[in-house]
Structures are given as structure tokens and as C-alpha cells.
Amino acid sequence: MTSAGSGRPSAPRDATGRDTARIAPRTLFFSLTRRHANPYLTGFALLGLTNALALGIPRILKHAVEAIQASDRSALMIFSALIALMALLQALVRTYSRLYILGACRQVVFELRGLLFRHLQYLPLDFYAQRSTGDITSRAINDMLLVRSLFGFGLMNLVNTGLVYVAAVSMMLLIDWRLTLLALAPYPLFILAVNLLSRRVYQRTMDVQDQMSALTSRAQENISGMTLIKTFAREDAESAEWTSMSADYLRRTLSLARARGAMVPVMGIMASTGTLVVVGLGGASVIRGRITLGDFVAFSAYLAYLVWPTLAFGWLLNTFQRGAAALRRVAEILAEPAESRDLPDAWRDRTTRGDISFRALTFSHPDAPPTTAHLRDITLDIPAGSSLGSLGTVGSGKSTLLGFLPRILTPPGGTVFIDGMDVTVIPLARLRRDIAVVPQEPFLFSRSLRENLLMGSPGAGTAAVDDASAASRLSNDLPRFPQGLETVIGERGVTLSGGQRQRATIARALLADPQVLILDDAFSSLDAEVERDVVEEIRNRRRGRTTILVSNRVGSLSWADRIIVMDSGRVMENGTHEELLRAGGLYARIARRQSLAHRLEEI
């Protein structure tokens, strides 16, 4: 059953209040960081203090070396104590900087994950028809881990690397600008090499994540369809296919690992080259007396302090490339246009009568061949408060036709009307609040049976739930459940029989008591006696409300005010039960076959 209530937010929006459908990945990145600017800025400030303390140590170390040269023991003790104190302060401040930055990162991912989930709730069904469940799941889970690294350790090390380079290089320039330029001369070439490698990392990360989506989708399908796999003895074939897909994932992962692994030695060579220059040329400068031994030690310490940021630079680029790829995949989902749930004031007090009209409706599914029409020139009136039965061959378009009423499918403008209003202009919050659908394939969540029944009417009381359960004859089976309506059913209602699932979805629809009720082949799993009882209950309860019933059993449709017979996307017959029997067409032939089959079963 699908239904909607008012009071929900409209299209999902980001932290700045803008519609996410218009947000690019870069804009999304900055909007999320601005939202949590205070903890980030606090963490970055503490990170700056951490580096100030760390970079002050080589300066004190210079004086300590000079105290050693001067054999000044008391000065040496003082400088040693200062170094120990600054190291302790640095450790303390660094801890708090990480707490602020990584805490903000988790808040960002929490917000983004919630934003993505909310957006998924409002995407049209066409989106889910084009995307696999595994792909969406992979983006919501696997990609989020990479996004967390981007907003956490990635941002932290980006700021830290910038601070260290600016501060350390400035201190090195104060000691000897010539030696500084020579020590850093090879760096631009290495950075260019890393930049080229990072592009490979980005593309190969996208390839890995795409294949991970495919694997997740395959696993989800196999686990959901395990009964079918075992029934057709497909275990070996499915395992072989999984092995092939896993091998492709391994190949892509190894390709990514090679690109990532190449960065580490490049950055290591960069750091080692700088050290070699300092030892050779710096040592010569000390010998010639251009700088003191203390300056040399301090300069070497500053250069050593650049080693980790330099080595981390490759990891940092890798993190940003992988995080950017993951954020783009998440942003692709957020960029999908959502269904609007805004309810203008003019629609708030309107009541739906349930007067339905189809006018020259011709429709083809978007992925169908250009010459294929699933519905052809449908013109039909269903007066408010009346009942319509629909019967037809498989694939005749019965479900497609009814999917236009709650706009599960979007019809061409000017073809489908409710109460004289084109359904394409009726707000979804208004439209779906008054329409309930019991689908061909009943779906139940892995929650308690009561929670499933309350899905369309969360405010209903115990008496109403019990009444709907009795009307659908679900109450007949409740004594068999360990905890009655409080029994938690399995995923997709797997612990229930097909008939129990259908009766549960019928009870859910009756509990919502909509102005328009659509029963799309909702009795296919019920035995004849239960079906007669449920149909009679629906008939009595739905007097004065519009009811549309799709069924392949003539007996379930005979009570309807009018019945249509569809074939090849057209309405071939239209009339009452008696009129269609007298006409001797498809309806009459199906009725005769079913009557004969019923008599044979009784023999």
C-alpha cells in the first residue's frame, strides 16, 4: 500500500536550506563544512598551536647545542626542561585538535547520511527502476566511509601540511635562505609526479567503487532470491559468476593499489633528496663558518619536521581523490529530482470525492521501443463512490492504468483526472493522502505485524487495528503467531504465507480508510472461501467511496457497479456483470471456464 500524509518536509535540502537537486559535489562539500565551521575552526586553531609548539623545539635545540659548546650545564638543563615541557603541551593540544576535527567529521557524515536517506524517500519510483538496490546501498555505506576520511583525516592533514610547510620553511629561510632553496629545489618536480599519479588514483577509485556496487547488488539479489537459486540448483553457477565478478574487483583494486603505492616512494625520494642536500651543503656551511652548529642542528630539525608532511602528502592526495570520487557518487543521488511534497494552502481544506476520469490516454514506458504503446486510447469514467472491476489478460495494462492515479507513474497531461483536476497538478501530499493501493506483490517490513498495519495510519487505535484485521480475516491466523500482532515478521514478511501477507496488506489499506482504494489483484493467494468473505467485507465497508478492484476471478468482480475487460492495452468491454455475460465476449468466456473449473473441483 502506498499512502502519504501531510506535514512531511518538501524536497530534501542541505544544511544551507538549498534544494540538493541543484548542488554540485564541490558546493555540497563547502556547505557541509560551513555548517560545522565552529568545531573545525577550533580544531584548526589548536592544530596551529600544536605546530607552533613543535616548531619552537628546534629553536630551543639550537640554544641547547650552543650551551653544550659553551659547557654551560645550567643553561643546558633549562633548555632540556623547556623542550620536555613543550613536547608535553604539544601532545595535549594535538589530542584536543583531533577531537574537535574528527568529531566535526562524524557530525558531517551523520548529516550527509541523513540527508541522503531522506532524499531517497522522496525520489520517484522511476529512479528505483533504473538503479539497483546494491548500487544505492554501496553509495550509502561504502562511499560514506571514504567521505568520512575526506572530512576527517583528509582535512586535518591538509591544514596541518600547509601550516608545517609555511612555518618550517619560514624558519629555515631565517637561518639560511640559500640552503633552504637548494633543499627544496627538487620538490616541484616530485609534486608534479604526484599530481599525475593522483589522477590515476581518482579514476581507479571510481572503477573500484562501481564494481563494489555491482558486487553489493549481486549479493543482495542472491540472498533475497536464495529460495529460487536452490529450487533451480543454481548454486554452482551463481558461485562461478560471483567468483568472476570478485576477480574483476580484485583486478581493479590491485590497479588502484599500484597507483597509490607509487606515491609513497616518490614522496620518500623527495624527503631523502632534501636531507642529502642539507647534510652536504649545510655541513660545508658550518665548516666555512657561514652558520653555527646550532643553526645547522635547528635547520636539520626543521627539514626533518617536513619529512612526515611530505610523505603524508601522497596519502593526502589519495584520500582527497578517493573521498572526492565517493562524494561525487553520493551527490549523483542527491542531484536526482525529488517528488515535491509541498501542500499549498489552497489545497489544505479540499476534500476528495473520488470522481475519476481517463481521457484518450495513450502511454508507453520510457524504456519501451518507440512503436510500443502499453495503453491505447483509454477513455473511462468512474463516478465518485462507485466501484469498478477490471479483468484482462496478462500484460494487458491493468496495473499500468491504475498506477497513474497515485502518480506512481506520471501520465501525459490532460489525460487523467480526479474530481475534474488533472492529477499532474494535484500536489502529491494531497493526492496520495486519499488513495491507498494494495499491490500485486504484498510488501511487509521486518517489524511487528502491528507496525506494518499502522504504516498508512500511525494514529489508529487498538480497536481500529483489530477491526481491520477481522475484516481482512487476518485475525483468523493471529492465534498461531507467538505474540499476535506484536510478532516481528521476517524480512519482506518471509515468515508469513502468501495469503497472510495479502491479508495483512488489505488490513493496512482498510485501516487507512482512503477515499479511493485500489486493489490490484490483491486476492490471488487467498482461497475461495476467504476471498468471498473479504470481498463481502470490502463491499459493505466501501459504500459511498470509490473502489477499484483488479482480479482474474470473475466471482470477485461480479458485485462491482461496472467492469472493464482489457486486452493489449485497450478497454475491449465495459459494462455490468450481467451485461458482459449477455455480450458473450472475453468476459463471458472467462466466466464459463472458471465456472466449469469450479464444478470440476467439487466433484
Q: Is 339 a member of any domain?
A: no
Q: What is the pLDDT of residues 129-164, one digit of tens each?
A: 788 777 888 888 888 888 998 899 888 988 888 888
- 17 pLDDT above the threshold of 60: no
Q: What is the pLDDT of residues 536-548, one digit of tens each?
A: 888 888 888 999 9
Q: What is the pLDDT of residues 498-507, one digit of tens each?
A: 888 889 999 9
What's the average model confidence in pLDDT over 220-235?
72
Q: What is the pLDDT of residues 41-91, one digit of tens each?
A: 999 999 989 888 888 888 888 778 777 877 878 888 888 888 889 889 988
Q: What pLDDT sits at residue 9?
A: 35
CA-to-CA dists, residue 570 to 262, 424, 564, angstroms: 64, 22, 10
Domain closes at, from 486, 513, 540? 513
Is residue 361 domain-shared with residue 236, that is, in the same domain? no
pLDDT over 90 percentage in the chain? 16
Cβ neighbors of 385 (< 8 A, separation 6 or more) are 353, 354, 543, 544, 545, 546
Q: What pLDDT sits at residue 384?
A: 92
Maximum C-alpha span of the chain: 122
Which residue(s) pair with 388 in the sheet?
548, 562
Is residue 287 domain-shared with residue 319, that is, in the same domain? yes
Q: What pLDDT sits at residue 7?
A: 34
Amino acid identity of 421?
Answer: M
Enter the C-alpha cell of residue 83: 623542550
Strands ordered across the beta sheet of 356-363 = 375-382, 356-363, 416-418, 421-422
Q: Is 535 a member of any domain?
A: yes
Give the Cα separation of 602 and 111 in Å (integer). Answer: 62
Is residue 279 domain-shared with residue 398, that is, in the same domain? no
pLDDT over 70 percentage in the chain? 84
Is 269 in contact with 225 (CB distance < 8 Å)? no
Is residue 463 domain-shared with residue 591, that is, in the same domain? no
Q: What is the pLDDT of residues 107-135, one digit of tens each?
A: 999 999 889 998 988 888 778 878 877 78
Angle at 515 between CA 513 and CA 520, to 5 degrees: 80
Amino acid identity of 585?
Answer: G
Q: What pLDDT sits at residue 244?
A: 86
Q: Is 38 a member of any domain?
A: yes
Q: How confident is the model at residue 580 (pLDDT cuts 50, 70, 90)?
A: very high
Check residues 252 and 226 and name the one with the higher pLDDT: 252
Is residue 278 domain-shared with residue 206, that is, in the same domain? yes
Q: Is 400 a member of any domain?
A: yes
Q: What is the pLDDT of residues 555-577, one digit of tens each?
A: 889 889 999 999 888 999 999 99
Enter the C-alpha cell of residue 519: 486493489
Q: What pLDDT sits at residue 23?
A: 60
Is residue 238 domain-shared with residue 289, that is, in the same domain? yes
Which residue(s) pair with 575 in the sheet?
563
Q: Is 218 a member of any domain?
A: yes
Give the Cα separation of 41 and 385 in Å (integer). Answer: 62
Q: What pLDDT sits at residue 237?
A: 81
CA-to-CA dists, residue 404 to 266, 362, 398, 456, angstroms: 60, 12, 11, 19
Is residue 419 domain-shared with residue 463, that is, in the same domain? no
DSSP 16: T
Q: Is 340 a member of any domain?
A: no
Q: How confident is the model at residue 12 (pLDDT cuts 50, 70, 90)?
A: very low
Is residue 176 domain-shared with residue 277, that is, in the same domain? yes
Check residues 4 and 425 and name the one with the higher pLDDT: 425
Q: What is the pLDDT of residues 356-375, one digit of tens each?
A: 999 999 988 766 555 455 78
- 389 pLDDT above the threshold of 90: yes
Amino acid identity of 578?
Answer: E
Enter the C-alpha cell of residue 150: 575526506
Q: What pLDDT sits at residue 204?
A: 81
- Count CA atoms closer than 13 A to 65's CA, side-chain side: 16
Q: What is the pLDDT of residues 339-361, one digit of tens each?
A: 776 767 667 677 788 899 999 99
Q: How confident is the model at residue 3 (pLDDT cuts 50, 70, 90)?
A: very low
Q: Is 135 helix (H, G, I), strand (E, B) or coil?
A: helix
Q: What pLDDT sits at residue 367?
A: 65
Cell numbers 561504502 correspond to: 142
Q: Is 2 a member of any domain?
A: no
Give the Cα separation of 220 and 533 in Å (integer). Answer: 38
Q: What is the pLDDT of residues 231-290, one digit of tens each?
A: 667 788 888 888 888 888 888 888 888 777 766 666 666 666 666 666 766 677 767 777
Is residue 246 domain-shared with residue 172, that is, in the same domain? yes
Q: Is 3 a member of any domain?
A: no
Is residue 317 domain-shared with residue 464, that is, in the same domain? no
Enter the C-alpha cell of residue 151: 572530512
What's the average model confidence in pLDDT over 25-35?
85
- CATH number for the domain spanning 225: value is 1.20.1560.10
Phi then psi dihedrals of residue 3, to 5 deg: -155, 165
Domain closes at, from 488, 513, 538? 513
Q: What pLDDT sits at residue 290?
A: 75
Type and span of the H or E element at 382:
strand 375-382
- CATH number for the domain spanning 470: value is 3.40.50.300
Is residue 546 domain-shared with residue 560, that is, in the same domain? yes
Give the total number of structural domains in the chain. 3
Average pLDDT, the chain: 81
Strands ordered across the beta sheet of 435-438 = 435-438, 516-520, 546-550, 387-392, 562-567, 570-575
Q: What is the torsional sign of CA 491, 451, 430, 332?
A: negative
Q: Please list the alpha-helical segments (H only) found in 460-527.
A: 462-471, 498-512
Q: What pLDDT sits at residue 340?
A: 73
Is residue 413 domain-shared with residue 501, that is, in the same domain? no
Amino acid identity of 230?
Answer: K
**Which residues constitute the domain of residue 138?**
20-334
The region, left, alpha or beta by phi > 0 then psi within -120 to 50, assigned to residue 395 is left
Give the Cα separation of 571 and 567 in Å (integer). Answer: 7
Q: What pLDDT sits at residue 42?
A: 94
End-to-end alpha carbon distance in the chain: 38
Q: For the ranges 181-190, 274-283, 327-336, 413-422, which has the lowest average pLDDT?
A: 274-283
Task: Compute the chain's Rg from CA coordinates.
Answer: 35
Domain closes at, from 513, 532, 547? 513
Cβ neighbors of 323 (< 8 A, separation 6 or more) are 146, 147, 149, 150, 151, 154
Closest CA to 424 of 361, 498, 514, 331: 361
